[in-house]
Amino acid sequence: MVKIVRKKELNPTVTLLEVEAPLIAKKAKPGQFIIFRVDEYGERVPLTIADHDPVKGTVTIIFQKVGLSTQLLGDLEEGDSILDFVGPLGAPTELPERVGSICVIGGGVGCAIAFPQAKENHAAGLKVDVIAGFRSRDIVILEEEFKANCDNFYLMTDDGSYGEKGLVTQKLQELIDSGKKYDAVIAIGPIPMMKFVCKTTEPYQIPTIVSLNPLMIDGTGMCGCCRCTVGGKVRFACVDGPDFDGHQVDFDELMNRNAVYRDEETVQREEPHHACRLEQMGKKLIP
Amino acid sequence: MPNMSLTKTPAEEQAPLVRNQNFLEVSLGYTPEQAIEEARRCLNCKNKPCVAGCPVNIHIPEFIAKVAEGDFKAAYEIISDTNALPCVSGRVCPQENQCEERCVRGIKGEAVAIGRLERFVADWYLKNISAKPEKPQSNGIKVAVVGSGPAGLTCASDLAKRGYEVTIFEAFHTAGGVLVYGIPEFRLPKAIVQSEVDKLKALGVDLQLDVVVGRTVTIDELMEDGYKAVFVGSGAGLPMFMGIEGESLAGVYSANEYLTRVNLMKAYLPDHDTPLKRSRAVAVVGGGNVAMDAARCAKRMGAEKVYLLYRRDEEEMPARREEVNHAKEEEIDFRLLCNPVRILGDERGKVCQIECVRMRLQAPDESGRRAPKEVVGSNFFLPVDAVIMALGTSPNPLIRSTTPGLETNRKGCLVVNEDTMKTTRDGIYAGGDAVTGAATVILAMGAGKKAAQAMDEYLSQK
């Protein structure tokens, strides 16, 4: 049981919770995740750690209320407790050796877990550029935090309502074309974004690390639900990952496997408020 | 005068076509009268061959004699003297290969139903005696147990009874390990596992849930923190797959995943959030107990058709005979000498068919086992919307990769001295599937027991 000490709504669907979890705070490294279970009926859901403070003994998670469990988690307030909170799980991010300059790319709520990558590596003395992409201005998160923890910050929106108009891959291509040399790229966001970042970096052979988010149950190397195909081999995101060499990942398969329970997700616990865009669009079309 | 009936006193069971629609226990167990009747079949042999067949050396003839007298409380005390989890082992032990295999009554007729009697006694005690065990006088020495499966629970119980201050670290939100995530409710009700865990707590064992040793804390940190010895019972690990086309389609599960969704996360209860796809036709691949559990769960989850695909014949199946028979009675369709070669998906990436090939057993090789060989051109298709792979597991890498000095074998299992269960590091012991690879509950319990004994000797010499 962990207590929520701080709650902040970052935008209408994205929430930040800081919880008291001293053991995890002491151990956490960028790239690792926790598994939470809201109550005794709840699912086990993985979330990558967004920040941790070993001195205060707290761990920060940032999540989008996309389904039942994240909705229930988002309904909790400061002072409330989360029944189960386990971690840090997964292997910490490992950059290739002798890296001097990296580009961290975040998409949407993925920026929440791209942030610790920028922060940690910048603090370690690396040159860090950040490209953060959002659909529009109203869902931009962590802008100030990124600016304080990198060398160059590029903010992109799909609709041009803030920052520059365009996709993160366009910005990355532009930076590469302008002569920027990156020793590695870390990409965290929606699966299509990670896939196309990898396609962008592949011709230049820039090592590209992606953080995968497959469905997961135990998260400790037991159930095999989180298996992904990487380099033609079965790998388990909970113990072998969640970071993998993006050039080796079968993203289409991951996307397919992640969609398995989309139907079930919407019918549990008396139709909770659902923030999935596709569903909202569907409701408009079929009232 | 003993009861000279050649057959076991039958225990009532739910009717097959009723029970395959619910998750209630299959076997209803003995009544006191039936138990006494069966206990009277025991000849109380002097040399006790049955005890030698028991991995935890239960004083079998002695407890059965008490059952015959109707003194069930005394019978329980004899069992619990050597067995920390009688409610569990009475249900899931393969008695037919252990105590009952060696029973003299089995030479002509059926062995004494030792397993059923053990279960009866343990259930009777649970129902009729409310007294919890008392916490023994503490010796002030802290020991840690990693994992709360059968090995860990047994080791913790034996150490606590000797006065050690035991803390169990469990990665999941519920204690019990494979007893709660793997073995289904209809074979081992979870309330019973919980009652065994509660007994441990009454002995003073501290249970820390949601702690992943190797991640949240390492074994070395535990030892720095004052734990004088550690027992590793972290269980089996990652599921194996066949490496055939289509194994990553939506609708292909490992048995671990399928059983975890159903048992630990209770997907069969509508008030729990963890989803499980409702499948109409399911193929389970494998021939062990886990395959039987998965097939029988799939049937109970509403599948109209459940196929069990196994590449050898029934005689070679590693599953318990009783489980095989139960599965058949519940209308699991056994397709033996049959091996999957490919899983096919529809346009949305969901399983829609499985392609199999028939197999033929060859003449026994040097090891005496008959290797299966494909019958060329015998391929056929089964229409299924889910496939469950029950092919075994490979050990979890977490502990070995975070604990310097712990040796593992080629398969990744922890190397131990078989007499003491001591690993290659002083003060660290291990047992159960983490050492043997996938094996039985009772062997894990035996290992936990042996380790507790050796840990006690090691710590009292310090």
Return d(Cα A252, Cα A249) in angstroms, integer: 9
* Per-residue model confidence (pLDDT) at position A275: 46
Q: Is A233 on the interface with B (CB under 8 A)?
A: no
**Kind plus residue range of the DSSP H or E element containing B3:** none
Most A CBs within 10 A among B209, B213, B238, hence the mutation to make, goes to: B238
Q: Chain B window 165-224: which residues touch A at a Cβ cutoff of 8 Å? A: 171-173, 181, 209-212, 215-217
| Angle CA B348–B352–B358, to nearest 5 | 145
Antiparallel, parallel or unpaired: β B351-361 and B372-374: antiparallel
Most A CBs within 10 A among B169, B179, B180, B215, hence the mutation to make, goes to: B215
- pTM for the full predicted model: 0.92
Return d(Cα A58, Cα A5) in angstroms, integer: 8
**Are A218 and B173 in contact (CB < 8 Å)?**
no
The ipTM assigned to this model is 0.90
Return d(Cα B345, Cα B353) in angstroms, integer: 7
Return d(Cα A239, Cα B136) in angstroms, integer: 39
Q: Which residues of A touch B243 (CB under 8 A)?
A: 234
Amino acid letter, residue B330? E
* Per-residue model confidence (pLDDT) at position A277: 46
* Per-residue model confidence (pLDDT) at position A265: 62
Yes or no: say if B253 and B276 are a contact pair by the CB < 8 Å rule: no
* Per-residue model confidence (pLDDT) at position A102: 96
Q: Is B397 on the interface with A (CB under 8 A)?
A: yes
Amino acid letter, residue B227? Y
**Are A68 and B273 in contact (CB < 8 Å)?**
yes
Taking CA atoms, B334 is separated from A72, B309, B312, B330, B411, in Å, by 43, 6, 11, 11, 31
- Kindly report the nearest CA distance between residue A164 and chain B, in angstroms: 36
**Are B248 and A37 in contact (CB < 8 Å)?**
no
Q: Name beta bridge partners: B429.
A: B231, B422
Centre a 10 Å sphere on the Cβ of residue B217 and count the other Cβ atoms it contains: 21
Q: Which residues of B touch A242 (CB under 8 A)?
A: none
Q: What is the helix, strand, coil percentage profile of chain B, to 5?
A: 35, 20, 45
**Are A86 and B216 in contact (CB < 8 Å)?**
yes
**Are A264 and B277 in contact (CB < 8 Å)?**
yes
- Out of B216, B249, B260, name the one closest to residue A87 (CB): B216
Tokens standing for residue B5: 């009936």
Q: Is A218 on the interface with B (CB under 8 A)?
A: yes
Q: Is B145 on the interface with A (CB under 8 A)?
A: no
For residue A33, give the nearest of A219, A255, A240, A253 by alpha carbon.
A219
pLDDT band, residue A274 (cuts 50/70/90): very low
- CB-count exposure of residue A43 (10 Å: 0-12, 13-18, 19+): buried
Q: Is B277 on the interface with A (CB under 8 A)?
A: yes
- CB-count exposure of residue B355 (10 Å: 0-12, 13-18, 19+): middle
Return d(Cα A241, Cα A214) in angstroms, integer: 11
Yes or no: say if B248 and B354 are a contact pair by the CB < 8 Å rule: no
Q: Is B225 on the interface with A (CB under 8 A)?
A: no
For residue B432, give the nearest of B150, B91, B55 by alpha carbon.
B150
Q: By CA distance, what is A258's nearest residue in B?
A: B250
Sign of CA dihedral A178, A182, A184, A189: negative
Q: By CA distance, what is A257's nearest residue in B?
A: B250
**Kind plus residue range of the DSSP H or E element containing B96:** none
For residue B234, give the nearest of B212, B250, B256, B249 by alpha carbon.
B212
**Kind plus residue range of the DSSP H or E element containing B356:** strand B351-361
pLDDT band, residue A267 (cuts 50/70/90): low
CA B392 to chain centroid:
13
pLDDT per residue over B160-175, tens digit each?
A: 999 999 999 999 999 9
Q: By CA distance, what is A38's nearest residue in B?
A: B273
The single-letter DSSP state of residue B302 is T
For residue B185, give the nearest of B300, B89, B331, B276 by alpha carbon.
B300
- Kindly report the nearest CA distance between residue A152 and chain B, in angstroms: 34
Q: What are the phi and psi torsion angles at B88 (to 5°)?
A: -80, -55
Return d(Cα A207, Cα A57) in angstroms, integer: 34
Return d(Cα A236, Cα A170) in angstroms, integer: 31
Centre a 10 Å sphere on the Cβ of residue B47 and count the other Cβ atoms it contains: 8
- pLDDT mean over A180-199: 95
Mean pLDDT of the residues in chain A: 90
Q: Which residues of B touch A37 (CB under 8 A)?
A: 173
Q: Which residues of B touch A264 (CB under 8 A)?
A: 275, 277
**Are A83 and B173 in contact (CB < 8 Å)?**
yes
B293 vs A268, residue with greater confidence: B293
Q: Which residues of A touch B256 (CB under 8 A)?
A: 222-224
- Out of B236, B241, B260, name the one closest to residue A234 (CB): B241
Return d(Cα B103, Cα B106) in angstroms, integer: 5
Query: Taking the CA of residue A40 as centre, how many other CA atoms within 13 Å lie in the half-sphere pointing to its CB?
Result: 2
For residue B351, give the nearest of B325, B381, B326 by alpha carbon.
B381
* Per-residue model confidence (pLDDT) at position B437: 87
Q: By CA distance, what is A2's nearest residue in B?
A: B210
Antiparallel, parallel or unpaired: β A184-188 and A101-107: parallel
**Are A225 and B211 in contact (CB < 8 Å)?**
no
Taking CA atoms, B376 is separated from A198, B285, B293, B429, in Å, by 42, 20, 31, 49
- Out of B171, B239, B348, name the one closest to residue A220 (CB): B171
**Kind plus residue range of the DSSP H or E element containing A85:** strand A84-89
* Per-residue model confidence (pLDDT) at position B14: 95
pLDDT per residue over A19-53, tens digit each?
A: 999 999 999 999 999 999 999 999 999 999 999 99
Antiparallel, parallel or unpaired: β A58-64 and A127-134: unpaired
pLDDT per residue over B118-152, tens digit each?
A: 999 999 999 999 888 889 999 999 999 999 999 99
Q: Is A269 on the interface with B (CB under 8 A)?
A: yes
For residue B200, give the nearest of B416, B454, B452 by alpha carbon.
B452
Cis amide leading into B16 (omega within 30): no
Contacts made by residues B201-204, CB under 8 angstroms, sequence distance 24+: B202/B132, B202/B133, B202/B134, B202/B135, B203/B133, B203/B134, B203/B135, B203/B136, B203/B157, B203/B160, B203/B161, B204/B135, B204/B136, B204/B138, B204/B160, B204/B165, B204/B166
Q: Name beta bridge partners: B166.
A: B143
- Kindly report the nearest CA distance between residue B13 and chain A, in angstroms: 30
Cis amide leading into A190 (omega within 30): no
* Per-residue model confidence (pLDDT) at position A273: 43
Q: Which residues of B touch A23 (CB under 8 A)?
A: 211, 216-217
**Are A223 and B251 in contact (CB < 8 Å)?**
no
Q: Is A36 on the interface with B (CB under 8 A)?
A: no
Q: Which residues of B touch A272 (CB under 8 A)?
A: none
Q: By CA distance, what is A251's nearest residue in B?
A: B248
Sign of CA dihedral B217, B218, B222, B224: negative
Low-confidence ranges of chain B (pLDDT < 50): none
pLDDT band, residue A264 (cuts 50/70/90): low
Amino acid letter, residue A143? E
Return d(Cα B268, Cα B446) in angstroms, integer: 32
**Are B398 and A239 in contact (CB < 8 Å)?**
yes
pLDDT per residue over A69-101, tens digit each?
A: 999 999 999 999 999 999 999 999 998 888 999
- Out of B250, B265, B275, name the one closest to residue A264 (CB): B275
Q: Is the pLDDT of residue A276 over 50?
A: no
Q: Which residues of A touch B237 (CB under 8 A)?
A: 221-222
pLDDT per residue over A112-152, tens digit each?
A: 999 999 999 999 999 999 999 999 999 999 999 999 999 99
